[in-house]
Chain A
Amino acid sequence: MKGLPPVLITAIVLVAGFALCAMQFPNIASTRVVGNLLTDNAFLGIVATGMTFVIISGGIDLSVGSVIGFTTVFVALAIERWGMPPLVAFVAILVLSAAFGAAMGAVIHVFDLPPFIVTLAGMFLARGASFLLSTESVPITAPVYSTVSDFALRMPGGGRLTAIAIVMLAIVIGGALLLRLTRFGANVYALGGNRTTASLMGVAVGKMTIKIYMLSSLLAGIAGIVFSFYTSAGYSLSAVGVELDTIAAVVIGGTLLTGGQGSVIGTFLGVLIQGLIQTYINFDGTLSSWWTKIATGVLLFAFIALQQGLVALARRPVVKSAGAAS
């Protein structure tokens, strides 16, 4: 039951926003636009799923944008220059990014450092490493890329559910199940609720921290692969600032930045809200893209203020219900 009210509010905002947009531009309410919305935000949805785990556990991961950038460059170079088969390249980068996340988690836990600054170092490291690989945009011409890009499930109304959108939906559903139904998910909530209590209850805090950051970096790696499919290129400057969009999506989705509460579905809705704003601005044509930033900022403020209010309300009565659900 945790985190249900904020998710409901996010859903209401999304539906109301969609209705408002559809009233002004009736064409928005088509499967074609919805399909594009899912495709354009596929990488964001994947990386935001990982970020949800990190934030619920009381941490933050600033390195995801850089990991995406590194992945696109690595995949492009591996396939085009080093002659690796695409699948091998994908496996290699996923192992690499998972190891990277595990290393960050280990540093955070072993040296007892704030996640904020450790992942900041990770952000510099991954971005710097991708610059080292190549500063130019490397186009990917492997046949797999055109096959996958052309693949799409037809939806009624002419919309296309592309392969990368399907991957994103699968990861969102998988993430939601992992968080809700498994011991791992319960431990994530426990860590975010109170680290000391969790440790006393028998949660292996160190292992969990490493696993959570590993998951986040792994999903960032997958998002990077998806991004390389989306752009058919690897570029060291791609996905700069995505960590902010991701955190914004997670917060708008009703996850508490202090940890302990939140849901993957909410995050998914948050991603869709950001995508909807972008779509509206594209449809309008006269508004510049910076309105996206302002609108996102306003939404961020509204949701954080709302959370703050809910937390204040929750603290007022007896502290009986605090640890009831998990």
Chain B
Amino acid sequence: MTALLPRRGLAQVLALIVILAVDRIVSPQFFDLRLQDGRLFGSLIDVLNRGTPVALLTLGMVLVIATRGIDLSVGAVMAISGAIAAGLADSHGLPIVLAAALGAGLVCGLWNGFLVAVLGMQPIVATLILMVAGRGIAQLITEGRIVTFSSPDLVWLGNGSVLGLPVPVVIALGMLILTAAVVRGSALGLLIEATGGNARASELAGVGTRAMILSVYVWCSVCAALAGVIAAADIMGADANNAGLWLELDAILAVVIGGTSLFGGRFSLVLAVLGALIIQTMNTGILLSGYPPEFNLLVKAVVVLAVLLLQSPKLSGLAGIAMRLRRTKA
């Protein structure tokens, strides 16, 4: 185990450095930052800003995956909360808008959690329901139109800045710290990992596995709802068809890149968010390089395969045999 410990996180950091270096070669002014109107501008800030929705989704998704689950509905939840926020923005204050949008996320999360934890459905199936129906619900809210708004409060949420940093980045950072503090500052993270490792054994050991599962799905949907509000604030409108489309896949990809096993049982919040940043750095690099953005998908596919093969228990067979030999000797 000690031989493995330094490896954890090293691969992700190295990958990020390599991609940043490639970006620097592709676009010489990649690391340039300038301060304008009390706000930082530059490609790096852009990466952080554009990466915010996926980073927020990742925060919830990593906990869900740690319980051996998966949440396919986050993109649809983003569409729902964005639609609600955009619909209320011009007639209500920011607190009410936020409360309504996040409340919708809470309800979605309770629904998913209820299906998985109480009815015992397979997570892929349970969240597939909301993934299919959610976009319909979002369109029901926007009545099939693209709802635009001009409320300065909500626009600030997507385009404003705090201490030179874009507001979405600050929010994502705050959510990361909050989640990390709650999950790692208490035994909660351990209990979540226990649930993912072996739900039955954990239940017998006195872990409230149902409550654990329910709460991670709720948290995942609330994060998704927040991401949806930010995405809507960013474009000053809600597009029920395209808001958050396929972002659930990016979020899952980020979690996998972050080294969290899809089989549950252990997770790393920071590495998962790092995974989201890696994805966004790649996206931005491809955009800057002048290649068509369609290359994104191919590059992503290759990255997923590479990461999967690295994580595969079979490929590290030789290393595994070596470790087993050492263990039996010890």
Contacts and interface: CB of A to CB of B under 8 A. Distances in A.
Contacts of B262: 114, 116-117
B122 A257 contact: yes
Contacts of B292: 131, 135
Interface in B278-330: 292, 294-302, 304-305, 308-309, 312-315
B188 to A, nearest CB: 26
Interface string A117-138: 1101111110111011001000
A308 interface: yes
Contacts of A60: 124
Interface stretch (A181-189, A224-232, A292-300): A292-300
Given A290-B135, A297-B129, A121 B305 contact: yes
Contacts of A107: 305, 308
Nearest to B263: A114
A195 to B, nearest CB: 15
Contacts of A110: 314
Contacts of A293: 132-133, 135-136, 139
B128 A124 contact: no
Given A112-B312, A297-B133, A135 B294 contact: yes
Contact of A111 (B134, B296, B314): B314
A207 B38 CA distance: 62
A291 B136 contact: yes
Contacts of A46: none
A28 interface: no
Given A60-B124, A297-B130, A112 B297 contact: no
Contact of B313 (A112, A300, A301, A305): A112
A297 B304 CA distance: 29
A321 interface: no
B297 A131 contact: yes
A67 interface: no
A34 interface: no
Interface string A227-262: 000000000100000001001100100000110000
Interface of A (DSSP majority class): helix
B140 interface: yes
A92 interface: no
B235 interface: no
Interface string A299-312: 01100110010000
B135 A301 contact: no
Interface residues of A, number: 43
A54 B302 CA distance: 23
Given A111-B312, A297-B133, A120 B139 contact: no
B44 interface: no
- For A129, A244, A301, which residue has the most chain B Cβ atoms within 10 angstroms? A301
A117 B256 contact: yes
Nearest to B293: A131
- For B129, B130, B132, B304, which residue has the most chain A Cβ atoms within 10 angstroms? B132
B238 to A, nearest CB: 14
Nearest to A116: B124
B4 to A, nearest CB: 19
A144 B40 CA distance: 59
A292 B136 CA distance: 8
B301 A111 contact: no
Given A118-B308, A293-B133, A296-B132, 12 more contacts: A121-B301, A124-B297, A124-B301, A125-B302, A127-B297, A129-B298, A131-B297, A244-B131, A248-B128, A248-B132, A292-B136, A298-B133
Interface of B: 70, 119-122, 124-126, 128-137, 139-140, 144, 240, 249, 252-253, 256, 262-263, 292, 294-302, 304-305, 308-309, 312-315
Closest 5 pairs between A and B when the two form their complex, measured CB to CB: A297-B133, A131-B294, A293-B136, A128-B297, A128-B298
20 contacts: A111-B308, A111-B314, A117-B252, A121-B304, A124-B297, A124-B298, A124-B304, A236-B294, A244-B132, A257-B124, A290-B144, A290-B240, A293-B136, A294-B136, A296-B133, A297-B134, A300-B133, A301-B133, A304-B129, A305-B119
